[in-house]
Structure 1
Amino acid sequence: RAFHQFIPFDVPKFAKRLLEHFKPDAVLWFESELWPSLLSQVKKSGVPFILVNGRVSDKSFRTWRRFDKIAKELLGCFSLCLGQSEQDKERLAALGAKKADCVGNLKFAGMPLPVDGEKLKELKEKIGSRPVFLLSSTHFNEEEQFAACLKELQRVVHDVLVLAVPRHPNRGGEVAEMFKNKGFATALRSKGEDITPAVEIYVADTIGEMGLWYGLSQVTFVGGSLINHGGQNFMEPGRDKNAVIVGPNMFNFVEMLAKAKVAGAVLQVNSAADAVEEAIKLFMEPEYLRERAEKAYLWTVKEAAVLDGICRVLNEELKR
């Protein structure tokens, strides 16, 4: 049984009241947003207190090093800190965690995104046999970088459809307008515009339909990686058997990316033009596309076993 409860303002008496009301036997704290009063009250309660999937970015590590006494006091509240990566584990230990370990990144364990079967069937009928290139979770300026080179994709790959899914749906209108101004026949989902045979770029600016777009595409470029953002989760398209391409700026996923590249599950490029070049190669060589998509899928399935490892460690810790 699970339910949602908002956390109160981080004031000692509110935090204490929360714990007195729910009387938890154990507390799992996810990621790395540390609330001092609540952490302190959980520690005082004496129940097992575990940080799961902890992450310490370069910026956060530099900041906490300047306030090392505070960091040590906060992290010292946990009986165990599980880092997303070996680097996170080492940083948590350096900042004062009493016991730090790494089993893997919980993001690896995510299930495939939900898909509306009726919508998927309807859109597949409209798209037909057209090849589909997805620009996923793109940020400001990334779409414009692609606009400069997508004509080459269209020239080589007959009747290709580009799905553009901005990370922030409120940008959909401006993204569609930009593509139109660059000479592309564009349709916008939020306006109810259809994917007709004439549409070259379909801008999907809705919420909760990402699984739909992965289910329609064969090749995906994952955004946030051509700009200084650090990338987005690139496992999701792999779960839907897409060949996956990312840009050069993936500093939020260093260890994850290294594993994926060794497994042949992702292609990393330096520019939008390079991404288009790779997409052309994939579409023009079906066996190469099949191989890349299969490797991406098998790697995500293998890494999803991280959940079993985390549960094993948690069970061992909670038995103490």
Structure 2
Amino acid sequence: MLRLIYSLLWVAALPLALLRLAWRARKEPGYLHHVGERLGVYGSLPNQGPWLWVHAVSVGETRAAQPLIESLLRAYPSHRLLLTHMTPTGRQTGAQLFGNEPRILQCYLPYDLPWLVRRFLRYFRPEAGMLMETEVWPNVVHGARKAGVPLYLVNARLSPRSFRRTARFGRAAAAMYRDFAGVLAQTAGDADRFRALGVPGVQITGNLKFDMQPAPAGMALGERLRKVLAGTGGRLVLAAASTREGEEPLLLDAFARWQALAGDVPRPALLLIPRHPQRFDEVAAMAARAGFSVARRSALDLDGETVPVDADILLGDSMGEMAMYFAASHLAFIGGSLLPLGGQNLIEACAVGTPVLIGPHTFNFAQATEDAIAAGACLRVDNADELVRTAGSVLADRARLADMRAHAQTFAGLHRGATVRTLAALAPVLEN
């Protein structure tokens, strides 16, 4: 009954969902591309399989899926891989990562209405599906079971906050999760919360993000960018990565008062990387109004002959280069954590040996954050002023900085192996 009510609400909301695409396209034109796919229309796409299907809603999930996708292609050479998304930035990230792989096809997953889901499943007829992390769409999950498509929730996480919300639906939530062939959880805490909902077949496989390997070319560009930002005075580089709306004013205000807060430590170059590309121009204008000189990554040719950039702030206005930005930085703050937004992935920074500062709000990545703090790879700060004070203290102490860098690399290395465990858990279905 709840799924019926949910579907009726979706019917009523569908015109608004289409209008929202047009609204969002004002800043991000990609929302008006491939609209038919969101309605289950795939007639122009090849559908010759056999298909393995991975759904990665946006940028973070697509990056996290990379080691799994690459391993699936190696393990099942006779299959093709269908990679679905919900956002243009996720699709763009997938194209950057896999654009040269002829066995991968990208498209949008349709809106979560029963007949649209049936169109999708009948067109591609995937042999198995994997939804990344938190992407639980009731009609997709139920439709896959009815169509005989084993569907797994992989790299699954369920924060305490999400658990409390989901638990309100009682048996309906448990029934929805029972339609999965399996739930492969990141941590023991995630697994316990899924089991408390009555979900059977939960396994702990770890976090796929630890298996992400930065490309050597990106690392080399990062070293080049670090030298460009150092300039003639040998400035250090502080990254503020994946910042969210409302955080940049706090960061810019604290950064403006750096000397008052950080003492004698010279103010570093700030590498400011908003999470959402539609906000690049807005954040650049905000920094300029705050009195900072601003350069943009899109204006730099790091492959050619470069000159030092003396601007206070370099805006990271590019997609698919986060590993490069972290490689360029001596220390990184991970956004989404100063305000109660749940935080973002800190693993990618640790993987390249860049120590991390994190704010108080990390409920979306609680276990990884606590593990990184315990390992000495991460320090938690309560607000933007404390961020500046802590950054100044760490950057002023080269021995401490080197120690945290080593801890970051060790932390990332110790937690690898989720891809192997995930493939092992999927094997009974994929090799059937």
| TM bracket, shorter-chain basis | 0.7 to 0.9
Shift of 1:120: 4.4
Residue aligned with 1:225, SS:
coil
* Aligned equivalents of 1:233, 1:271: Cα separation in 2: 19
Matched, 1:308 2:413: no
Confirm or deny that 1:32 pairs with 2:137. Answer: no
Q: Aligned residue for 1:217?
A: 329
Match in the other structure for 2:24: none
Counterparts of 2:296 and 2:309, CA distance in 1: 15
Aligned partners of 1:173, 1:10: CA distance in 2, in Å? Answer: 33
Measure how far apart 1:242 and its partner are: 1.0
How large is the RMSD of aligned CA atoms in angstroms? 3.0
**Aligned pairs (5 A) from 1:1-320:** 1-2=80-81, 3=104, 4-16=106-118, 18-46=120-148, 48-112=150-214, 115-116=217-218, 120=222, 123-128=225-230, 129-150=234-255, 151-152=258-259, 156-158=264-266, 160-190=268-298, 196=308, 198-315=310-427
User: Aligned equivalents of 1:47 and 1:149: distance in 2?
Assistant: 52
Deviations 1:218-250 (A, max 9, x none): 111111111111111111111121111111111
CA distance change for structure 1 residues 292 and 173 in 2, over 3 Å: closer, same or farther? Answer: same
1:173-229 CA deviation, whole Å, 9 max, x = no partner?
443344344443333445669974542222222323322211211111111111111
- 1:4-31 Cα distance to aligned partner (Å, 9 max, x none): 3443454545544544554444333332
Aligned residue pairs, count: 320
Q: 1:21 to 1:130 in 2, by over 3 A?
A: same
The percentage of counterpart residues that share the same residue type is 32
- Alpha-carbon spacing, 1:127–1:15, altered in 2? closer, same or farther (3 Å): closer
Give per-residue Cα distances to partners, 1:76-119, cap 9 Å, x unaligned. 11232222222322222222312222222223322326855785
**Structure 1 unaligned residues grouped into runs of 5+:** none
Q: Which amino acid in the other structure matches residue 81 of structure 1?
A: V
Compared CA separation, residues 272 and 46, structure 1 to 2 (3 A): same
Task: Give the gaps of 5 or more residues in structure 2.
Answer: 1-79, 82-103
